[in-house]
Amino acid sequence: MNLLHFFGLPPAASTYAADIDFGLRLTFGAIVFVFFSWSVYLAYLVFRYRNKPGGRAEYEKSEGISKAMIPGLVVLVLEMILIIFWEIPVWGKIKEEMPKMGDVVEVNVLAQQFAWNIQYPGPDGKFGRREQKLVSFSNPIGLDYNDPAAKDDVVLANELHLPLGKMAVIHLMSMDVIHDFAVPEFRIKQDIVPGMDIPLWVKPTRIGNFDLACAQLCGFGHSLMVGHVIVQSPENFAAWLKKEAPNPQAASSANNF
């Protein structure tokens, strides 16, 4: 049982959430221990050395390298152990190493003020070309339907479906300002910077419907920029994707329009 759930931490839903929760437990445990032991010591000093009638302070000076350095050095050693043996490998796993393409679900997330556009490549596994001049109300991401790869793409607003237990690689792109992809249950967060394609991976471990809320101030509608991450069983996910896939005729007629 994780005590942090009592203080707000939502139940985890991704593979690396356990690593991050371990880090939170470790650092918060250290904070509470250090704070209370120091506070007790401080309270003792304040009480023990209070001003008494006729009392006099000791004339004691500590020059040079004093024992005040010891707590600092202990802290330094513990912190460096934490960084070298835990933080650098875990950070590398989450943010630096991307899974090999192949058996992964690839999704484009195109953030805009104030919505999440989600693009799946469809059965061909290729994302259709996007072009800025094609952006319109009915085609928010400017998908070029003349591109053969675009014909089977699935484009949605504010709904990101992911299959349970399968690696997903999400390409984060922004059309206007900086947004931030944050799903508290996944324990993941990544700024989405216009002009960049930032990949992010996640392997969901729990079926559910989670808030996908923008975490970087993006304008007056920032707090309303909420989408949903829907984690489904792989069978339900496949069935859903098949249902959503546009038939070629509809796609080409949309293009003519």
Rounded Cα distance between 188 and 190, Å, is 7
Q: Which residues of 180-211 are buried (b: 16+ CB within 10 A; e: fewer)?
A: bbbbbbbbbebebbeeeebebbbbbbeeeebe
Task: Give the footprint of another protein on residues 144-173 (CB under 8 A).
Answer: none
| Residue 113 binding another protein, by CB under 8 A | yes
Task: Give the footprint of another protein on residues 50-69 (CB under 8 A).
Answer: 50-52, 55-69
CA 18 to chain centre: 14
Least distance in angstroms from the C-beta of 208 to another protein: 11
DSSP-derived secondary structure letter, 141: T
Which of 132, 249 has the CB closer to another protein? 132
| Residue 83 binding another protein, by CB under 8 A | yes
Which of 19, 152 has the CB closer to another protein? 19
Cα separations (Å) of 204 from 127, 140, 167, 210? 23, 28, 8, 11
Least distance in angstroms from the C-beta of 96 to another protein: 5
Least distance in angstroms from the C-beta of 81 to another protein: 11
Per-residue x/- track, 189-228, another protein (CB under 8 A)? xxxxxxxx-x-----------xx-xxxxxxxxxxxx-x--
Return the residue of 73, 100, 102, 256 that touches another protein, per CB under 8 A: 73
Stretch that binds another protein, among 89-97, 101-109, 118-126, 152-160 (CB under 8 A): 89-97
Give the number of C-alpha atoms closer than 13 A to the C-alpha of residue 154, restricted to the C-beta side: 19
Least distance in angstroms from the C-beta of 193 to another protein: 4
| Residue 180 binding another protein, by CB under 8 A | yes
Return the residue of 18, 37, 71, 238 that touches another protein, per CB under 8 A: 71
Stretch that binds another protein, among 76-84, 121-129, 149-157, 158-166 (CB under 8 A): 76-84
Least distance in angstroms from the C-beta of 234 to another protein: 25
- Is the CB of residue 11 less than 8 Å from the CB of residue 184? no
Phi first, then psi: give them for residue 233, nearest 5 degrees.
-65, 150
Stretch that binds another protein, among 2-10, 119-127, 162-170, 233-241 (CB under 8 A): 2-10
Cα separations (Å) of 196 from 19, 26, 123, 153, 179? 28, 34, 26, 21, 12
Cis link prior to 127 (omega < 30° from 0)?
no
Rounded Cα distance between 143 and 252, Å, is 12
